[in-house]
């Protein structure tokens, strides 16, 4: 949604966005750019397809914008979950 709104605002010919996700567990020691170095980590591989007559520069910018999406930011941040009985 964030990518589509950005493209619309810029007047770019984005016709559609398709996102594929793959979830796996990896050893933290296998992740060079992760802060955690012990135990296991969740890994999400994200593949984004853009349809429309976009230039390579526009496609690259849309990938950058995808990282600014609120859901992406939430998943990349520390999450504190508190559970209470009601």
Domains by residue range for the chain, with CATH = 2-76 (3.30.300.20)
pLDDT confidence of residue 61: 97
Output the six-digit token pair for 78.
């520390």
pLDDT confidence of residue 11: 97
| pLDDT beneath 70: ranges in the chain | none
CA dihedral 8, 10, 11, 15 (to 10 degrees): -50
Helices 2-10 and 56-66 cross at an angle (nearest 10°) of: 140
Q: Show Cβ contacts of residue 76 under 8 Å, excluding neighbours closer than 6 positions.
A: none
Q: pLDDT per residue over 61-77, tens digit each?
A: 999 999 999 988 888 88
């Amino acid at each position: 949604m964030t990518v589509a709104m950005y493209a619309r605002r810029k007047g770019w010919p984005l016709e559609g966005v398709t996102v594929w996700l793959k979830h796996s567990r990896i050893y933290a020691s296998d992740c060079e750019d992760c802060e955690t170095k012990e135990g296991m980590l969740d890994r999400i591989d994200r593949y984004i397809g853009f349809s429309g007559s976009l230039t390579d520069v526009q496609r690259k910018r849309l990938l950058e914008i995808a990282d600014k999406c609120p859901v992406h930011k939430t998943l990349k941040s520390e999450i504190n979950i508190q559970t209470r009985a009601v």
